[in-house]
Amino acid sequence: MRFSTLTERVKGEAADAWDLHYLANQAKQRGEDVIVLSVGDPDFATPEPVVEKALQAMREGDTHYTSISGHESLREIIAERHQARTGQLVDAHNVITTSGAQNALFACAMCLLEAGDEAIVLQPMYVTYEATIQAPGAKLVPVVLDADKGFRLDREVLEAAITTATRAIFYASPSNPTGIALNRQELEFIAELARRHDLWVVADEVYTDFVFDGEMHHMASQPAMYEHSITLGSMSKSYAMSGWRLGWAIAPTEMIDNMEKLALCMLFGLPGFVQQASEHALRYCEADVVRMRDIYRRRRDLLFDAFAAMPGLQPLLPDAGMFVMVNVLGTGLSSNEFASELYHATGVSVLDATAFGASAAGYVRVSCTVSDAELAEACNRIGRFVGSL
């Protein structure tokens, strides 16, 4: 059988890294004694008022076709929050709702890139970036954030990566997997390069609400970046709504118009009851976000302190998010060997961070998305495993 070359471009090289996670997840579903720390799906339930709003909307008949770009009232509250956080003057016409931030990321790649273009991505990068950027035929150019320097941006390396074929710079801040948030100086430099070389900047900010330490800085706050920046957001993490699939992009109206044309033939609008529930969450459920952030902070500290006390492990303290990266090379094992042997010896699954790019080799990513009791038990098992090496 013959298929489009698109099927080859969207394969990516990181798919195998998830095999262990799938194995652990299947074992858990069978009732086996495993602890899954290899995925970033919140363990919290969606706030009950949000669920009730969705049920009410369904009962009232919001179960038909909706506007391609999303309910105007939802787009208005997204624009208002964005403007309050960044100072960028936007309204509902600058917003399109999408099926999660991943769909927004894919739409950006399809509307900005084509064969022969290059897109710079800060690495470590989320695993779907490779296939997403390759889908339209573009080339992904990784800019490595050096682990020995705390995964901070090297200005010279970034500037050297720009060529005449460069079309855009993609990054996630706070980052998945590192949890590192770009600081003001790093964003200023990226913005200056974008203005100088007439580049787009796609800022994936899905972990904005889970910044623990310091101030969250936004690309949209940088001067003269309205015509160059696209900001992606999502309900998945902040409101424990990963399965509801509601994300968005905030961009110049011309970009939104193009994304709407793509959405017309790809999605044809999102469920209205999901949009109503999401609007309710954005307007009235900030306390739930704060509660979850405080719990993730406590879990982060628990993991960091536990790993720091284990011989051969060097944890990285994240600024934000729901993960802790741990350098395991001191155990004498590669990150792949560590993850595999840990699971088979203890039933605890962590993710080999090589999935996020070669710059994360030697690290595993450990999720904070299980209960405190499970997390403590996982640390006990990991500690015994490390001690046995």
Question: How does DSSP assign 6-42, residue by residue?
Answer: HHHHT--S-GGGGHHHHHHHHHHHTT-S-EE-S----
User: Would you say the CATH fold of 61-284 matches that of 6-45+287-388?
Assistant: no
- Given a contact cutoff of 8 angstroms between Cβ atoms, the answer to whether 240 and 210 are in contact is no
Angle between helices 100-112 and 253-266 (to 10 degrees): 110
- Given a contact cutoff of 8 angstroms between Cβ atoms, the answer to whether 315 and 304 are in contact is yes
E runs forming strands in the chain:
35-36, 95-98, 118-123, 139-144, 166-172, 200-204, 229-234, 247-250, 314-316, 323-327, 348-349, 351-352, 363-367
Q: How many CB atoms lie within 10 A of CB 213?
A: 11
pLDDT at 13: 62
CATH 3.40.640.10 is right for the domain spanning 61-284: yes
Report residue 19's pLDDT band, with 50, 70 and 90 as the boundaries.
Answer: confident
The mean per-residue pLDDT over the stretch 169-188 comes to: 97
Domain residue spans in the chain?
A: 6-45+287-388, 61-284
Please enumerate in sequence order all residues whose Cβ is within 8 A of that of 325, keeping only pairs 6 or more positions apart, or say none.
177, 178, 179, 315, 316, 318, 353, 360, 363, 364, 365, 366
pLDDT at 8: 87
**Percent above pLDDT 70 for the chain:** 98
- Give pLDDT tens digits for 125-174: 998 999 999 999 999 999 999 898 999 999 999 999 999 999 999 999 99
- Give pLDDT tens digits for 259-315: 999 999 999 999 999 999 999 999 999 999 999 999 999 999 999 999 999 999 999
pLDDT at 25: 87
Please enumerate in sequence order all residues whose Cβ is within 8 A of that of 220, keeping only pairs 6 or more positions apart, or say none.
82, 86, 87, 88, 203, 226, 229, 231, 250
Please enumerate in sequence order all residues whose Cβ is within 8 A of that of 303, keeping only pairs 6 or more positions apart, or say none.
315, 324, 366, 368, 375, 379
Residue 232 has pLDDT above 70, yes or no: yes
- Given a contact cutoff of 8 angstroms between Cβ atoms, the answer to whether 83 and 90 are in contact is yes
Residue type, 88: Q
Sheet of 323-327, strand order: 314-316, 323-327, 363-367, 351-352
Report residue 12's pLDDT band, with 50, 70 and 90 as the boundaries.
Answer: low
Number of residues that make up the chain: 389
Name the more confident of 1 and 117: 117
pLDDT at 255: 98
pLDDT at 213: 84
Q: How many CB atoms lie within 10 A of CB 341?
A: 15
Element at 263 (helix H, strand E): helix 253-266
Q: Which two tokens stand for residue 80?
A: 């208002």
Query: What span, in angstroms and rounded, lies between the C-alpha atoms of 200 and 184?
Result: 18
Residue 17 has pLDDT above 80, yes or no: no
Report residue 210's pLDDT band, with 50, 70 and 90 as the boundaries.
Answer: very high
- Give pLDDT tens digits for 57-116: 999 999 999 999 999 999 999 999 999 999 999 999 999 999 999 999 999 999 999 999
Shortest CA distance to 180 belongs to which of 303, 354, 324, 363?
Answer: 324
- Give pLDDT tens digits for 355-384: 999 889 999 999 999 999 999 999 999 999
- Given a contact cutoff of 8 angstroms between Cβ atoms, the answer to whether 72 and 272 are in contact is no
Shortest CA distance to 218 belongs to which of 209, 231, 228, 199?
Answer: 231
Beta bridge partner(s), residue 141: 120
Query: What span, in angstroms and rounded, lies between the C-alpha atoms of 107 and 140?
Result: 16
Report residue 15's pLDDT band, with 50, 70 and 90 as the boundaries.
Answer: low
- Given a contact cutoff of 8 angstroms between Cβ atoms, the answer to whether 69 and 97 are in contact is yes
Query: What span, in angstroms and rounded, lies between the C-alpha atoms of 198 and 14?
Result: 31
What helix, strand, coil percent values describe the chain, rounded to 5?
50, 15, 35
CATH number for domain 6-45+287-388, candidates 3.90.1150.10, 3.20.20.80, 2.40.128.20, 3.40.1110.10: 3.90.1150.10
pLDDT at 103: 98
Shortest CA distance to 88 belongs to which of 217, 224, 206?
Answer: 224
- Given a contact cutoff of 8 angstroms between Cβ atoms, the answer to whether 347 and 171 are in contact is no
